[in-house]
Amino acid sequence: MRYFIELSYFGKAYHGWQRQPNAISVQQVLEEVFTTLTGSQKSLVAAGRTDAGVHAKQLFAHFESEKIENTVDLVFRLNSFLPDDIAVKRILEVPSNAHARFDATERTYEYWVARQKNPFYLDTAYFIKQPLDVQKMNEAAKVLLEHDDFECFSKSNTDVKTYVCDIKKAEWTQVNDLLVFAITADRFLRNMVRAMVGTLLEVGLGKWTIDDVKYILESKDRSKAGPSVPAKGLYLTKVEYPRNSIKK
């Protein structure tokens, strides 16, 4: 039978979601705890792969298993064995052809920028002390909605077949003492959001113009775009699936 697992994690201690040969990952930790509790090895397929140090407020993954009689009890036991920076919310039985990655229709990320020095944001946001023109940053963000090829923001030497993404939302908002960039798309390229944020911040700092952003997008050249901002400020916040594919 196939099941979806919904989880969240604080990414500081991990080299991303996906298993790595010489580094600890969220997938490895979760699969090892599954093996300990059930006595059988589980292979988890996630909705996406977060990079090293990136956090996830919501992520779904699927796995195969014999009938689980009590999913609530399994969630409790998983959380008892998992480290404090990984939490399982629920386990759902889904159709046998349901796929956590390929069935996902939208993913939303947030990037947090701290506007004043705050020790509680040390590992959770990127502190920028210089003044930022948020209006210009939002004007530049609207330019992203006019394009669908984002090769200029993709990590080099990736194995993707296309750089096309359908961005549905990209905007900056003030949330208390944080400046939050929220972006929703059907898919994301490796390093894409962090490179986008780095580029938009260059606009906010007055170093680049809206026309510069247009030029960067048309160039399809990663070296033309801004620097990647630190991973600690990036959060995968929501993964959407077609109505009735999983129970909310």
The set of catalytic residues is 51
Phi then psi for residue 64, to 5 deg, are -95, 145
Give the chain's length.
Answer: 248
Hey, what are 176's tokens?
């208390």
The answer to whether the CB of 17 falls within 8 A of the CB of 59 is: yes
> Helix 134-144 and helix 210-219: axis angle, to 10°?
30
Close Cβ partners of 191 (under 8 Å, ≥ 6 residues apart): 51, 153, 154, 155, 228
Spatial separation of the C-alpha atoms in residues 163 and 141, rounded to whole Å: 18
Spatial separation of the C-alpha atoms in residues 201 and 188, rounded to whole Å: 19
